[in-house]
Chains A and B, each alone.
Chain A
Amino acid sequence: MATSATTLEPAPPQEAPRRRRIPRKATTEPLWVRLLLITIAVGFIAGFLLMPLFIIFKESLLKGIRVYYDALENPHAVSAIKLTLLTAAIVVPLNTLFGVAAAWAISRFSFPGKRALVTLIDLPLWVSPIVAGLMFVILFGRQGLLNSLFWSGGKQVFPILFEPAGIVIATLFVTFPFVARILIPLMQAQGSAEEEAALTLGARGWQTFVYITLPKIKWGLFYGIILCNARAIGEFGAVSAVSGHIQGLTNTIPLHIELMYNSSQMEAAFALASILSMLALLTLVLKSFFGWQAERQAKEALESTP
């Protein structure tokens, strides 16, 4: 018998021609139900996503492109953009590292308190962002619980509250779970067999991680990173509580938008909002792409295990 590359499935047997009938799975709804659901979904997306986007761009350009650019070139707007990007640049890598380490520990090890750790990782998702921010104020504030540790002579020992560091910490907290939550089930589904194989072949821990684990979790990782980034850039409540709202120093883009809005400078507010919207759209596109790839990878992992 010649060596064949095909799988072991037999060729489908020849069938007698059947009557023409639209094939339907047992779980498919009738046509009108499907149309209704699709219409509702599309209407929802158009109304809640597309319309606001359209309005943001329209309002920001209402007084012309010159006003739009002026709003973005305003020094306080520029520092808000810089602070937002700096925060994301710190928070995203740290939480990625943490997420990978946590997913690694949880999917490969058994240790006491593992369940608690998984629950704890999810904690920032249940807490309202404002509550999270206030939590830091209650901890680190001058009237706070730890004020004897963090305050001396009316000044902070470490610059946390009302400083960029506080914004970073608050953002770190709320974006904590994103990478971990994607990777934990992915790595659990993928199993550790390939990693064990790598070890027996002489690969050390870090080599196994870099050559075997990382390529396998690549798409899930990108997906988690993009979510983490989006949240870090757009975070409002937690940052608002710890920021101090100092123009040019501790205002992020969302806070600056609020300030513009509150001082009746609508075009400026919308101009910056349009920046955030563009970032949001980009995030959506990337996330869809990565998410699709990650799904594909997870499916392959499940299918290839006999």
Chain B
Amino acid sequence: MSVVIESIHKTFGRFNALEGIDLKVETGELVALLGPSGSGKTTLLRIIAGLEFPDDGPGNIFFHGTDVTERDAYERRAGFVFQSYALFQHMTVFENIAFGLRVRSRATRPSEAEINARVNDLLGRVQLTQFAKRFPNTLSGGQRQRVALARALAIEPRVLLLDEPFGALDAKVRKELRRWLRAFHEQTRLTTLFVTHDQEEAFEVSDRVVILGEGRIQQIGSPAEVRANPANDFVRKFLGLDDESELLIPSPLHEGSRARELDAV
């Protein structure tokens, strides 16, 4: 499922959050939206999800050719993982994951048995089977994030959106989860966009990086490209390429990795 964004503008009052955003994400790509705080990356993600709407004007969003610009969030089937997890505190882990399936209209809702099967399958995939009956407030941060991910995946989304998914976790857990995410993506091949301000993370995980600054796209390219040819001063400054010394940017974790056990998180 490709995502095409054309000429998106967004202002909050007098503040220009986004200006003239054009972006094309190919099916199955894992794209990072990278930039400093205030650059508009979360706003862009929320606009794609339908949680915000772009200013009136020429802007459009297409999911695989279909114009979804006017559609409400609940119609878009864009799985969203929040930085704060936003798990339903009053529901068990199982219920959380099942939620998206249960609220479907009678016509499209799967049977109880099917819902059970799917949820258990997802629990297995995020290695949280034994936590099915627990409540979110008894889980660790990393566990909660995995529930959030499973929940988003339950609806078989057309595109997966992650908003600083590992932002609230400590460094070690972040690293583990990052690798796990990449491996997971290799398996599912789901078009994914994720927002981060951590360039290490963006460069390690993504196929392409979109660098945002001051509400505009500063550069788009593969990590290697961007590293080698920063498009302008902003990019250079942001990536810390100003001084001539070579910055050690870790090589991407693309080839040959597989899902790792995630015990410690």
Contacts and interface: CB of A to CB of B under 8 A. Distances in A.
Interface of A: 1-3, 5, 7-8, 193-194, 196-204, 207, 211-212, 215-216, 300-301, 304-306
Contact of B80 (A2, A7, A200): A200
Contact of B82 (A193, A202, A212, A304): A193
B138 A5 contact: yes
Nearest to A306: B168
Interface residues of B, number: 42
Contact of A200 (B79, B88, B130, B137): B79
Contact of A201 (B72, B130, B155): B155
B247 interface: no
Q: Which secondary structure characterizes the binding site on chain B?
A: loop
Contacts of B103: 198, 201-204, 207, 211
Contacts, number: 90
Determine the main DSSP class of A at the interface with B: helix
B73 A193 contact: no
A234 B83 CA distance: 48
B141 to A, nearest CB: 7
Interface in B237-265: 263-264
Contacts of A207: 103
Contact of A300 (B72, B89, B151): B89
Nearest to B72: A199
A276 to B, nearest CB: 36
Interface of B: 49-51, 72-80, 82-90, 99-100, 103-104, 130-131, 134, 136-141, 148, 151-152, 154-155, 168, 263-264
Contacts of B89: 194, 216, 300-301, 304
Given A196-B51, A216-B90, A202 B104 contact: yes
8 contacts: A5-B134, A194-B87, A197-B82, A200-B76, A200-B152, A202-B100, A216-B90, A306-B83
A8 B141 contact: yes
A216 B89 CA distance: 8
Contacts of A301: 89
